[in-house]
Amino acid sequence: MSQTTPTKIPPVCHFWEIWRNPIFLRYCRARLRPTGLGASCLITILVSGFLFQMIRTFSDNRTELDVMDIERAPLVTLLIIQAFILFVLGTAQASGGMTAERDEGVIDYQRLLPMSSVSKVIGYLFGLPIRETVMFLCTLPFTLWCFIRGQVPLGVMLSIYGVMASTTLLYHLTGLLTGTIVKNRRWAFLMTIGLIFSLYTIIPQAAKFGLVFFKYLTITPTIQDAMPDLVPKTFGAAIDVSRRLFSEARFFNLDFPEAVFTWFTQACLIITFFVMLCRRWRDADAHLSGKLWASGFFLWIQILLLGNSIPLIDSGKLFPTQQFARFSVFTRGQQWEPDRWEAMAMILAYGFLTLILLWVMSSLITPSYETVVNGWRRAHKLQKNRLPLLADESNSTPYVLVMSLIGGAGWFYFTHMIVESRWFPGHFSPISNSGWFLLAIVTCGLLHHLILELKGTRTLFMCIIFIVVVPLMLSAILFGTSDRLQPLALWVGGISPLGLPFLTAANHLSITELPLLIDRTVPSVWTFWQGVYIIVIMRLTYSLYQKRSRLKATLLSQSSAPTST
Amino acid sequence: MTSIDIRDLRVDYGDFTAVHDLTLQVPAGEVFGIVGPNGAGKTSTFRVLASLSRPTYGEVRLAGIDAIEDKENARRLIGYMPDLAPVPRDLKCGEFLRFYARAHGLGNAKECAKRADECLEQVALTDHKNHWCHKLSRGQTQRLVLAKTMLHRPKVLILDEPASGLDPLARRDLRQTLRNLTAEGATIFISSHILTELAEMCTSLCVMSRGRLLASGTVEEVRRQLGDDSRRLTVTPLQALSAVPEWLSNLPGVAAAFIEQEQLAIDFLGDDDAQASVLEEFLRRGLRIRSFQEKRSSYEEILIDVAEKSRAQV
């Protein structure tokens, strides 16, 4: 057979040449048609122009505001409109558009284009929400007017738009990723909107419970930081005081401006999402993340979580009640001290978050039965008796174990720093306790991974419903029914692996404040359920080992099928 | 020169093996057909060839380029038309083609537009240049996607059921288009359920069933490989025969003979030479014959037979 030597053919466009990217240009053509774009721009200009002029007119009538204040007045409203266009409409378009490509079946055509996966992702990233970008540009003259005439410092303007750009990128990548995974167009749209809504409403509450990292996934800290320069001076003065009280972007011993730290935090997620999308473009059946990348990403998130929260413990700024106490008329003038319950709540919040993240990462790297079988067949054909170490089909248990240990160590370190801080004298969390914390996270991590690999996603889903969620619900009902039923509630709640972090913390930390009846029950409940789960894990590990060995033996012993020609 | 070289290709979906160690070579410039009942493994083979799916194992080389490892370069050679030929809802026909022309680096905007127009003309859709893609009829959509597939003058065209939904005129045009493409040096890998049609279009073909290759070669070779070399000869004498002549059973190739509706029916297994000898014998013995007909299994019957056998094996 004569063979053509593959020659290096120049790419259709380099990944940075967005203006030449065919996928970007295709969406410019489709989404910037005069009729659709005209209507969208008209509505945007009408709304922004109306609010801009109305707020200025109202401000003009207030005698205490000078000219500069009047010009600044519409700024926050206009920024909200811009954020809505880019974050909500743009992200929904990114996810919905991606799902539509797959739904219509044309995604295969795009896969076949002789372009690199990076160029394809960039084409979609900037192309799909192109109309929303133009709508955003329509609002820009109004905000620029406010920035310039309102004499807002250039640095503030640049940091706001810089963070808006990185946040937009992050959300649009999230949208693309959702669109790549979710098969139904409506679900992809709803999930994306839900994700962004929760980022600005629910997740900031998590930030109040020690998970400071989450607020840097939004534009909020940068806006808060810049607020004194964005509003009229009268309000700005008051905000400036609160900014000095709140605004701190600390990462271990380093101090960062809010905008810089937001970029730093978001960059890690942007790169990870980008890598995931590129993997999927290269191979439609590949795992979203490689094993090493997933482990590194998990470690990085733990470092960010700890780096943001640990420096705030000593000053007390990590505790939610301190912020409340500052403004409450009831506590003003009193010496503030954190409550033990809030320390416990923060410890549990960290534990739960670590677990959920661990489960997500474990789901990303655990190979399905089909992947493993195909891997062994491939190995057999290549006359190898082991799977490639980092391939999707290889054993992911060691990586889940490593991530569990990282998570457990992170959780224990957080707990240790809170309990042994100056706020809780007489309470200790000795290093000797760390084993129990590690055990709790390893138990939960492995349980999820083993069930997923042994039984598949459907069984795992049923287990999450009936073993994780339902016992917690029952426990909550029993807990509220009567005091006498509280020990029973604890026993029932212990069935759920999500109860393990609580039981571990309650059993090993003196800081825990529990009613006497529960306090007495905790040790036996923890011992029993932790023991049960260890036995279950040993059993599942053995079954998985047997299953893998059987599979390997069966597939490697098969003689290759006769070749048909 | 081998244009498509498939070696030991296997595709699995869990425990189901869609393609079972397939080895196949297609020389350049051929129209190679792939036939088989549903679930034969045609689309799985096509998707691997088009570098859209990763096989369990095996090698696929297109004009010498590894289509599994060097996808980006292989994709420059491939023109793939999937079954049901989807089109985007937000583009017009001309825009649709210009986009792919640009994506394949066919020059500046003007050159891309020119090439798009040429392809539209080839599939007789010039009048529909400014029509929305999704508003075309099924047959027009098929033709539009065929135009998109030919756009970058691929060396290997992979066409999954390209004739479905086409009217007879469009089918004739498709045949002509394929001939033109092969004349330009392209190799065409094509699938269809309509075996008669495929036999007309293809220079060679293969038959697959349950992921395995049953036969490959020219149409006649495939017929022989499938063991379907039998034919029925029907002899209509001028005067009706009362019984089957005894000498007939001694002739080479004659498996059975019987009288059916005043005609003499012969189940014949011999080759063309032996068949000529039968006719010769009739004439030599002075038997006056009104007609001498040969009837072979149609391609459709062969395919149905293969499908039934494969169903029986499940």
Asked if residues B275 and B294 have their Cβ atoms less than 8 Å apart, the reply is yes
Interchain contact, A106 vs B88, CB within 8 Å: yes
Q: Which phi and psi angles does B157 have, rounded to 5°?
A: -105, 130
For β-strands B212-217 and B204-209, DSSP reports them as antiparallel
pLDDT value, residue A68: 83
B24: contact with A, CB 8 A cutoff = yes
pLDDT tens column, A43-60: 999 999 999 999 988 888
Residues of A in contact with B52 (CB under 8 A): 108, 111-112, 284
Q: Give dist(CA B97, CA B79) in Å, integer.
A: 13
The residue in chain A having the minimum alpha-carbon distance to the alpha carbon of residue B65 is: A6
Please give the structure tokens belonging to residue A248: 């701190």
pLDDT for residue B91 = 93
Instruction: Return the residue matching tokens 């039998």.
Output: B230
CB burial string B199-212: b at 16+ within 10 A, e below? bebbebbbbbbbbb
The answer to whether the beta carbons of residues B101 and B115 sit under 8 Å apart is yes
The structure tokens listed for A85 are: 């266009």
What is A510-563 written as a DSSP string? TT----HHHHHHHHHHHHHHHHHHHHHHHHHHHHHHHHHHHHHHHHHHSPPPPP
Q: Which range among A118-127, A475-484, B64-73, B194-203 shows the weakest confidence by mean pLDDT?
A: B194-203
Q: Which residues of A touch B65 (CB under 8 A)?
A: 4, 6
Q: Which residues pair with B191 in a beta bridge?
A: B34, B160
Report the residue from B66, B99, B216 with minimal CB separation from A26. Answer: B99
> What is the structure's pLDDT at B111?
93
pLDDT the model gives residue B311:
67
The vertex-A159 CA angle with A153 and A165, nearest 5°, equals 140
Q: What's chain A's average pLDDT?
A: 87
pLDDT digits (tens, 9 = 90+) for A191-227: 888 888 887 777 777 777 778 888 888 888 888 888 8
Q: Which residues, at least 6 apart from A71, have a Cβ–Cβ distance to it below 8 Å?
A: A56, A145, A146, A149, A150, A151
Find, in chain A, the residue whose alpha carbon is nearest to that of B16: A370
Candidate from B8, B103, B148 with C-beta closest to A563: B8
Residue matched to tokens 């996607």: B145
**Residue written as tokens 């149905």?**
B304
pLDDT of residue B8: 92
Closest of A373, A323, A317, A318 to residue A350, by C-alpha: A318
B92 touches A: beta carbon within 8 Å:
no
Rounded to an integer, what distance in angstroms lies between the CA atom of residue A521 and that of residue A385? Answer: 51
DSSP single-letter state for residue B41: S
User: How many CB pairs below 8 A link A and B?
Assistant: 132
User: Does residue B286 register a pLDDT over 70?
Assistant: yes
Amino acid A229: pLDDT: 79
Tell me what pLDDT residue B314 has: 55
Query: What pLDDT tens digit does each residue of chain A (565 aa) get?
Result: 444 444 556 677 888 889 989 999 999 999 999 999 999 999 999 999 999 999 988 888 766 778 888 888 899 999 999 999 999 999 989 998 998 888 888 888 888 888 889 999 999 999 999 999 999 999 999 999 999 998 888 988 999 999 999 999 999 999 999 888 887 777 887 888 888 888 777 777 777 777 888 888 888 888 888 887 777 776 656 565 555 544 567 888 888 888 888 888 889 889 999 999 999 988 888 999 999 999 999 999 999 999 988 988 888 888 888 776 666 655 555 677 888 888 999 999 999 999 999 999 999 999 999 999 999 999 888 888 889 989 999 999 999 999 999 999 999 999 999 999 988 988 888 999 999 999 999 999 999 999 999 999 999 999 999 999 999 999 999 988 988 898 999 999 999 999 999 999 999 998 888 888 888 999 999 999 999 999 999 999 999 999 999 998 888 887 554 443 3
Residue B131: pLDDT above 90? yes
Flag if B86 and A283 touch (Cβ within 8 Å): no
Put simply, the chain B residues between 136 and 175 with a CB less than 8 A from any chain A CB are 148
Mean pLDDT of chain B: 86
Cα distance between residue B204 and residue A309, in whole Å: 70
Q: How far apart are CA B171 and CA A93, in angstroms?
A: 40
pLDDT the model gives residue A293? 95
Interface predicted TM-score (ipTM) = 0.79
Could you give the count of Cα atoms lying within 13 Å of A42 in the half-sphere of its Cβ?
6
Tell me the pLDDT tens digit for each residue of B230-272: 788 888 888 777 888 888 888 888 888 888 888 888 888 888 8
| Contact B252/A at CB under 8 A | no
- State how far residue A84 is from chain B, nearest Cα, in angstroms: 25
Q: Which residues of A290-328 are buried (b: 16+ CB within 10 A; e: fewer)?
A: bbebbbebbbebbbbbbbbbbbbbeebbbbbbbbebeee
User: How far is the CA of B6 from the CAs of A22, B3, B233, B271, in angstroms?
Assistant: 32, 10, 40, 33
Does B88 contact A30 at a Cβ distance shorter than 8 Å?
yes
Chain A residue numbers touching B215 (CB-CB < 8 A): none
Q: Do B102 and A22 touch (CB under 8 A)?
A: yes
Structure letter (DSSP) for residue A6: P
CB contact under 8 A, B100 and A113: yes
What's the predicted TM-score (pTM) here? 0.85
Enter the tokens of residue A150. 């309102």
Taking contacts as CB-CB distances below 8 angstroms, the residues of chain B near A564 are: 20-23, 212-213
| Among the listed residues A549, A107, A48, A519, the one whose alpha carbon sits nearest the alpha carbon of residue A284 | A107
Sheet holding B2-13, edge to edge: B16-27, B2-13, B57-62, B65-66
Residue B177's pLDDT band (cuts 50, 70, 90): confident
Tell me what pLDDT residue A367 has. 94
Cβ contact (<8 Å) for B12 and A373? yes
- SS3 assignment, position B204: strand
Give how far A96 is from chain B: nearest CA, Å.
Answer: 14
Question: Is the model more confident about B193 or about A260?
Answer: A260
The minimal CB distance from A114 to the residues B23, B63, B72 is found for B72
Phi, psi of A186, deg, nearest 5: -65, -40
Contact (CB, 8 A) for B72 and B115: no
Residue type, A112: L
Long-range CB pairs of A45-48, under 8 A, 24+ apart, other chains included: A45/A138, A45/A139, A47/A81, A48/A78, A48/A81, A48/A138, A48/A139, A48/A142
DSSP A319-358: SHHHHHHHH-TTTTTSPP---HHHHHHHHHHHHHHHHHHH
Q: With contact defined as beta carbons under 8 Å apart, do B51 and A413 qualify?
A: no
pLDDT in tens, A415-446: 999 999 988 988 888 999 999 999 999 999 99
DSSP at B52: S
Range of lowest pLDDT (A373-387, B66-80, B295-309): B295-309
Nearest CA in chain B to A393: B56
In chain A, which residues have their Cβ closer than 8 Å to the Cβ of B99?
22, 25-26, 29
Which residues in chain B touch residue A23, judged by CB atoms under 8 angstroms apart? 103
Of A145, A149, A157, A120, give the one whose Cα is nearest residue A22: A120
Exposed e or buried b per residue across A118-134, where buried means at least 16 C-beta atoms within 10 angstroms of its C-beta: bbbbbbbbbbbbbbbbb
Say whether A561 and B84 touch across the interface (CB within 8 A).
no
Shortest CA distance from A560: residue in chain B:
B21
